[in-house]
């Protein structure tokens, strides 16, 4: 994303699948018939809440899913998406309430689909996860207890993920990834989006404090490939808590 005008570069494109296209995708890639579909919020990918029609001779199994379509840039890093999918499986086995990863008809955890947009052909990695109901944290009154529980969960995730192993784990390490907490100073180039107001002043102060108080001590901290945006992609199915 450009720092000047906020427009997406040609290398990056958020998916723009219609509901009809998404339904056809679920049927062709995962072999499921969609009975209801609803868009879900997402920052740079595209998510859909999917309800499926259960076969007449089937009475068990999930009926609600989330179709996740990765943006064009993320779709160029299938190793990263694969690791995220295996993290979901790992955390679920460890007792966390994560979604399940649904396999494609070809028995893969992801599928790369190509779409002709008229001027070019774009490729997107798609995944299907079981749906986890919930509410956006922005809709929940903030309290010290809630903040404590969020911090407790983050710590538990961190300790659990110390044991995660995967041959492609290094794909999580992206030096200038904007969502990596150690890259807080990279946010400075996006301050223009706030205009000139009190919020911008506070954020400028926080960034400066991070530079003065945290960056000088980074070498004392343990470092893993995890950050909250990656965990959101792994564990969440619609940006909910």
Q: Please indicate, yes or no, if residue 150 is contained in any of the structural domains.
A: yes
Same domain, 111 and 128: yes
pLDDT band (50, 70, 90) for residue 136: confident
Same domain, 210 and 199: yes
Q: Please indicate, yes or no, if residue 55 is contained in any of the structural domains.
A: yes
The mean pLDDT of the chain is 83
Same domain, 29 and 81: yes
Q: Which of 137, 153, 173 is the last residue of a domain?
A: 137
| For range 103-128, the mean pLDDT | 89
What pLDDT was estimated at residue 133?
Answer: 87
Write out pLDDT tens, residues 5-61. Answer: 344 444 468 898 999 999 999 999 999 999 999 999 888 899 999 999 876 555 666
Q: Which SS3 state, helix, strand or coil, does residue 35 take?
A: strand
Same domain, 167 and 111: no
DSSP 122-148: EEEEEEEEE------GGGS---HHHHH
What is the count of structural domains for the chain? 2
Q: Which of 111, 137, 163 is the last residue of a domain?
A: 137
Same domain, 199 and 96: no
Same domain, 126 and 200: no
In angstroms, the CA 18 to CA 125 distance is: 16
What pLDDT was estimated at residue 55?
Answer: 62
Same domain, 28 and 81: yes
| For range 174-193, the mean pLDDT | 87
Q: Please indicate, yes or no, if residue 3 is contained in any of the structural domains.
A: no
* Of the candidates 185, 194, 191, 186, the residue with the CA atom closest to the CA atom of residue 214: 185
> Phi-psi bin for 41: left (phi > 0), alpha (psi -120 to 50), beta?
beta
**66 pLDDT exceeds 90?**
yes
- CB 137: neighbour CB atoms within 10 A? 12
Same domain, 47 and 65: yes
Q: Please indicate, yes or no, if residue 170 is contained in any of the structural domains.
A: yes
Same domain, 130 and 119: yes
Give residue 34's domain range: 19-137
**237 pLDDT exceeds 60?**
no
Going from the C-alpha of 24 to that of each of 17, 31, 38, 56, 68, the distances in angstroms are: 10, 10, 14, 21, 14
Q: Please indicate, yes or no, if residue 10 is contained in any of the structural domains.
A: no
**228 pLDDT exceeds 60?**
no
What pLDDT was estimated at residue 50?
Answer: 95
**238 pLDDT exceeds 50?**
no
Same domain, 123 and 27: yes
Query: Of the segments 57-61, 93-97, 227-231, which one has the largest average pLDDT value?
Result: 93-97
Q: Which of 112, 137, 162 is the last residue of a domain?
A: 137
Same domain, 26 and 77: yes
In angstroms, the CA 106 to CA 110 distance is: 10
Q: Please indicate, yes or no, if residue 239 is contained in any of the structural domains.
A: no
Higher local confidence (pLDDT), 12 or 187: 187
Higher local confidence (pLDDT), 220 or 241: 220
Same domain, 103 and 181: no
Q: Please indicate, yes or no, if residue 14 is contained in any of the structural domains.
A: no
In angstroms, the CA 209 to CA 202 distance is: 11
Q: Please indicate, yes or no, if residue 13 is contained in any of the structural domains.
A: no
CATH code of residue 99: 3.30.200.20
What pLDDT was estimated at residue 224?
Answer: 56
What pLDDT was estimated at residue 175?
Answer: 79
């Amino acid at each position: 994303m450009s720092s000047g005008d906020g427009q997406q570069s040609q290398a990056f494109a958020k998916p723009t699948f219609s509901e009809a296209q998404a339904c056809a995708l679920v049927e062709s890639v995962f072999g499921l018939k969609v009975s209801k579909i609803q868009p879900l919020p997402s920052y740079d990918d595209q998510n859909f809440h999917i309800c499926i029609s259960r076969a007449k001779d089937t009475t068990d199994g999930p009926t609600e899913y989330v179709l996740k379509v990765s943006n064009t840039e993320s779709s160029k890093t299938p190793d990263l998406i694969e690791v995220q999918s295996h993290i979901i499986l790992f955390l679920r086995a460890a007792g966390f309430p994560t979604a399940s990863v649904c396999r494609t008809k070809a028995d893969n955890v992801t599928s790369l689909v190509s779409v002709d947009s008229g001027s070019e052909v774009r490729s997107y990695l798609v995944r299907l996860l079981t749906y986890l109901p919930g509410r956006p944290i922005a809709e929940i009154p903030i309290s010290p207890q809630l903040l404590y529980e969020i911090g407790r969960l983050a710590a538990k995730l961190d300790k659990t993920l110390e044991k995660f192993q995967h041959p492609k784990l290094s794909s999580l390490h992206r030096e200038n990834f904007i969502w990596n907490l150690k890259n807080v100073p990279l946010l400075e180039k996006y301050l223009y989006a706030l205009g000139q107001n009190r919020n911008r002043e506070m954020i400028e102060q926080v960034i400066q404090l991070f530079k003065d108080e945290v960056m000088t001590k980074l070498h004392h901290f343990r470092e893993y490939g995890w950050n909250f945006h990656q965990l959101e992609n792994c564990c969440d199915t619609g940006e909910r808590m």
